[in-house]
Structure 1
């Protein structure tokens, strides 16, 4: 039975059953089957971590403008990310003549798949974490503005006992006002931003994530409607040692560059800022909620 540990200030990675760890999950495979088993983790986590960087496209041309808050996201994992077509070893011949088998990914069923082969042999494909949602949360600080430019930062590091282990996240970003170059009566605020983040766990999983976005917003006093078009990419490098083998296995999950569309609303009640948006991406749709305080923002 799965046990979930909720971590409010960092990636809320599901903790695995008492006898399992993250290391055990990601080290179950080698080769191409290992890449297919773990690729959904890179896709879903990459789109989640690239979310929530902005709540408005308004940036002061000069003066004090800052924000501090918590960014939370929720990704609902689709069924196509819970299984993959696993290949058989060259020496294994299934008794039913099939060429592939549907096996769980790291997000898939916790039940292993066993295929009977000729001569009493069997092919074993281990299960996954059996989860349907991946939540995430991280603190964020933004400060500006110099010549219409704002900088943003994310950072968290801790050593959790049990199945989670050491986690570290760092993120930096910068965005620049486009509106300052447009006529003052232009109806929308526009900005462009670039953001980078790195995530590590137990010196075993390393993920780099990038997003470049064009942002737009329209202000109605306490309400701000905002949206954006982003070009994002993520990659994940996993290094581990297979039990009983001194050699290390290194798997670099494929980097995928995709566009995302974001639309949302921010509630501005004095210093208090509460925002919600939804991003649509070919890799993963993500819901974002943000809570914080700000000065100098609309």
Structure 2
């Protein structure tokens, strides 16, 4: 158990550090490149938050409760570690030729490794502050971790409420706080339609919101059908769900530039620009399955979800 909590603590530090870098690096992109850089984050966070939502289709008894500490890992496809970045649309005022080359370069997304570089191709005698443009590196990660505390509450008439919450964590005075909450409602079908079936069946709907200061907000929504079977102290469970994820970004870009000066001398200067856009996640069906072990009041479960971003979830907790 001690080793498990050490692992959870390491995951927490990784998550906080990663989100801090995201909010800083996104400001170094204009809109189009910023979308492509941050898009895999929407996919990975959506996959993580929409996993580990249940460890059994059986609902808790009225006023019963359970606490679970979930750690999720979303596996990032290799193709989503890079994107083709577009150069700034700046041209030499005298010749009309682009100031940066090449037209496009391969660069790291948030989960990639090394950022690309646009080379200044203007006349160094004509421009007083010529500089190449180095795009940010990524986190160089093949998996995206997240840590989620979860409280389950049994309510009358075969229902259960799930609450996920994390206290605000201040990332920095400039960025703001990392905030997270989520909730779900589950209804047992065995209590109404399928009392005699030797399996537990339930339906569930869930919603989450994760914010990184005022820069990024990720929201998820999912609907799940669940099935489980208890064998002694073991629980085997699975389900099919439909999920929807959106990411909203709002930041001031330091990457926008303009040319100023008089012939024959010019300079390229940054122009702070307000950027705002939305990204849709990989929305659609997701299958999940897992196994749990219950001894006394302690619960341990391991589950996996299949999709474009497969996930693995490990949960440790207790229930009464």
TM-score range, shorter chain: 0.7 to 0.9
Structure 1 residue 46, shift from structure 2 partner: 1.0
The answer to which structure has the higher helix fraction is 2
- The one of 149, 153, 156 equivalent to 1:143 is 153
Given the alignment of the two structures, is residue 13 of structure 1 paired with residue 27 of structure 2, yes or no?
no
Partner of 2:316 in structure 1?
291
Which protein is bigger by CA-based radius of gyration? 2
Given the alignment of the two structures, is residue 174 of structure 1 paired with residue 185 of structure 2, yes or no?
yes
| Distance across 2 between alignment mates of 1:149 and 1:160 | 35
| Distance across 2 between alignment mates of 1:94 and 1:224 | 63
Partner of 2:165 in structure 1?
155
* Aligned residues of 2:23 and 2:212 also touching (Cα < 8 A): no
Partner of 2:115 in structure 1?
112
Deviations 1:191-246 (A, max 9, x none): 00000011111221111111110000011020010001011111111111124545
Distance 1:167 1:180, change over 3 A: same
| Distance across 2 between alignment mates of 1:114 and 1:106 | 16
Structure 1 residue 118, shift from structure 2 partner: 5.7
SS at match of 2:41: helix
Gaps of 5+ in 1: 1-5
Given the alignment of the two structures, is residue 254 of structure 1 paired with residue 280 of structure 2, yes or no?
yes
* Aligned residues of 1:70 and 1:292 also touching (Cα < 8 A): yes
| Distance across 2 between alignment mates of 1:245 and 1:118 | 20
Deviations 1:135-183 (A, max 9, x none): 1112111111311111110111233455985111011110101122334
Structure 1 residue 184, shift from structure 2 partner: 3.5
Aligned length: 284
Partner of 1:132 in structure 2?
142
Distance 1:74 1:219, change over 3 A: same
SS at match of 1:51: coil
SS at match of 1:27: helix
- The one of 267, 270, 278 equivalent to 2:304 is 278
Structure 1 residue 7, shift from structure 2 partner: 4.8
C-alpha RMSD of matched pairs (Å): 2.9
Partner of 1:80 in structure 2?
79
* Aligned residues of 2:176 and 2:214 also touching (Cα < 8 A): no
Gaps of 5+ in 2: 1-7, 92-96, 124-129, 255-269
TM-score, normalised with respect to structure 2: 0.79
TM-score, normalised with respect to structure 1: 0.84
Distance 1:279 1:58, change over 3 A: same
